C-alpha cells in the first residue's frame, strides 16, 4: 500500500490559489475604486464566522442530523471498533452518536481529537458488515486526525470573503473609470471571482476526501473493506436521498457520501465529494488490484 496521490500538496496549492485570487481582487479594488480598506472588514467578519463554526462544528453537525449520544451498552460493536482504531492511532476516544436516518452515511467532526465526535446513521449500521463499517470509521477518524474541519473552515472563510468583496464591487465599484480603473475588468471580477472561489473550495473538499480514504485505509490495513462499503453506501444514498436544507447543506461536506440526489454533467464541478468510482479505484490500487 504505497500508492500516494499528493493530496496534501494539492490542498496547499489550492489554498494558495484562493489567497492569490483574494489578493488579486484587492489589487483591482485598490486601483479602480480607492476603497481597499473595507476588504479588512470583510476579512474580520470571515474570521469571526469561521471561528464560531470551527469551535462549534460538532454541535452544528450533530444538531443538523438530529443525532443522539449512544452508550457502549447500546452499541458495543461500534465502540469496540472505534476504540481499537483510536488506540492504534494513539489518539483519545471520541464521543459516539447515532442519527435516526435511514440513509447510510457517517461523519466525524470536532475541532481536534480531544473534542471529536463520530456519528453513524441507523441506515449505515444496518447496511454494512462489521469489516466494512471498520473501514468507514477509519476514514472518519482520519478526518479528525488530519484536522480537516479546520481546513474546510478556513477554505469556506476565504471563499466567503471573496464572494462578499465581489458583491461589494458590483454595487460600489462603478467609479472605476474616474480613478483610472477598468469598469469592465471590475464587473468581470465581481461575476467570476465567486465562481472561481467556490470551485477551489470544493476542490479542497474533494482532496480531503481522497486523503481520508487513503489514510483511513492505512489505519485499518484494509482498503478493500472501505471500497466495498463505498459501493453499498453509494447505492443506499441514491435510493434514500435526503431533502436539501440549509442546515444539512452546511454539513454535507463532512459526510462520507453526498447525502443529496446524485449530480451529473456540469453540476459535478460543484460537488463536495469526488466521484465514488474514482475513490473505489484508488482504494483497489492501494490493495494491488
Which residue would you say has higher pLDDT here, 218 or 177? 218
pLDDT of residue 151: 79
Q: Give the per-residue pLDDT at 17.
A: 76
Please, how many CA atoms are within 13 Å of residue 115, restricted to the half-sphere of its CB?
Answer: 12
Q: Of 151, 164, 156, nearest to 193 (Cα)?
A: 164
pLDDT digits 0-9 by tens, 189-232:
677 777 877 787 788 888 889 999 999 999 999 999 999 999 99
CA distance 154 to 50: 7
Q: Tell me what the mean pLDDT of segment 40-69 comes to.
A: 79
Q: Report the distance separating Cα 175 and Cα 120, nearest Å.
A: 53
pLDDT digits (tens, 9 = 90+) for 98-152: 999 999 999 999 888 999 999 999 999 999 999 999 999 999 999 999 988 877 7
140 catalytic per annotation = yes
Inter-residue contact 77 to 130 (CB < 8 Å): yes
What is the DSSP annotation of the chain? ------HHHHHHHHHHHHHHHHHHHHHHHHHHTS--THHHHHHHHHHHHHHHHHHTHHHHHHHHTT-EE--TTT-HHHHHHHHHHHHHTT-PPPEEEEE--SS--EEEE-SSGGG-EEEEEHHHHHHS-HHHHHHHHHHHHHHHHTTHHHHHHHHHHHHHHHHHHHHHHHHH-TTTTTTT--HHHHHHHHHHHHHHHHHHHHHHHHHHHHHHHHHHHHHHT-HHHHHHHHHHHHHHHHHSPPPP-HHHHHHGGGBSS--SS---GGGGGG-SS--HHHHHHHHHHHTT-
Residue of 72, 74, 140, 249 marked catalytic: 140
| Mean pLDDT of the chain, nearest integer | 83
pLDDT at residue 29, as a whole number = 64
pLDDT at 79 over 90: yes
Q: Which residue has the higher pLDDT, 175 or 284?
A: 284
Residues 46-56: what's their mean pLDDT? 73
> pLDDT at residue 3 above 50?
no
Distance CA 254, CA 53 (A): 13
Cβ neighbours of residue 183 closer than 8 Å, sequence gap 6 or more: 32, 173, 174, 176, 177
Strand-pair category, 95-99 with 106-109: unpaired
CA distance 168 to 179: 17
pLDDT > 90: what percent of the chain?
47
Between residues 168 and 93, which one has the greater pLDDT? 93
As given in the structure block, the three cell numbers for residue 159 are: 471563499
Amino acid at each position: 500500500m504505497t500508492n500516494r496521490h499528493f493530496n496534501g500538496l494539492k490542498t496547499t496549492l489550492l489554498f494558495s490559489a484562493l489567497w492569490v485570487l483574494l489578493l488579486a481582487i484587492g489589487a483591482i479594488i485598490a486601483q479602480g475604486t480607492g476603497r481597499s480598506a473595507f476588504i479588512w472588514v470583510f476579512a474580520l467578519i470571515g474570521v469571526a464566522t469561521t471561528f464560531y463554526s470551527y469551535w462549534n462544528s460538532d454541535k452544528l453537525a450533530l444538531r443538523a442530523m438530529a443525532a443522539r449520544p449512544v452508550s457502549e451498552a447500546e452499541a458495543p460493536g461500534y465502540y469496540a471498533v472505534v476504540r481499537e482504531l483510536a488506540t492504534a492511532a494513539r489518539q483519545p476516544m471520541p464521543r459516539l452518536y447515532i442519527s435516526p436516518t435511514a440513509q447510510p452515511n457517517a461523519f466525524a467532526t470536532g475541532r481536534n481529537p480531544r473534542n471529536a465526535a463520530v456519528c453513524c446513521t441507523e441506515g449505515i449500521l444496518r447496511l454494512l458488515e462489521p469489516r466494512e463499517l471498520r473501514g468507514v470509521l477509519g476514514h472518519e477518524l482520519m478526518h479528525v486526525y488530519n484536522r480537516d474541519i479546520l481546513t474546510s473552515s478556513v477554505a469556506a472563510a476565504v471563499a466567503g470573503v471573496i464572494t462578499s468583496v465581489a458583491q461589494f464591487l458590483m454595487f460600489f465599484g462603478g467609479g472605476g473609470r474616474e480613478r483610472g480603473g477598468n469598469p469592465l475588468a471590475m464587473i468581470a471580477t465581481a461575476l467570476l471571482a465567486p465562481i472561481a472561489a467556490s470551485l477551489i473550495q470544493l476542490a479542497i473538499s474533494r482532496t480531503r476526501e481522497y486523503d481520508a480514504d487513503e489514510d483511513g485505509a492505512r489505519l485499518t490495513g484494509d482498503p478493500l473493506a472501505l471500497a466495498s462499503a463505498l459501493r453499498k453506501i453509494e447505492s443506499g444514498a441514491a435510493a434514500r436521498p435526503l431533502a436539501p436544507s440549509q442546515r444539512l447543506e452546511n454539513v454535507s461536506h463532512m459526510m462520507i457520501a453526498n447525502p443529496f440526489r446524485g449530480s451529473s454533467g456540469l453540476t459535478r464541478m460543484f460537488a463536495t465529494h469526488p466521484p465514488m468510482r474514482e475513490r473505489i479505484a484508488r482504494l483497489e490500487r492501494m490493495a494491488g488490484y
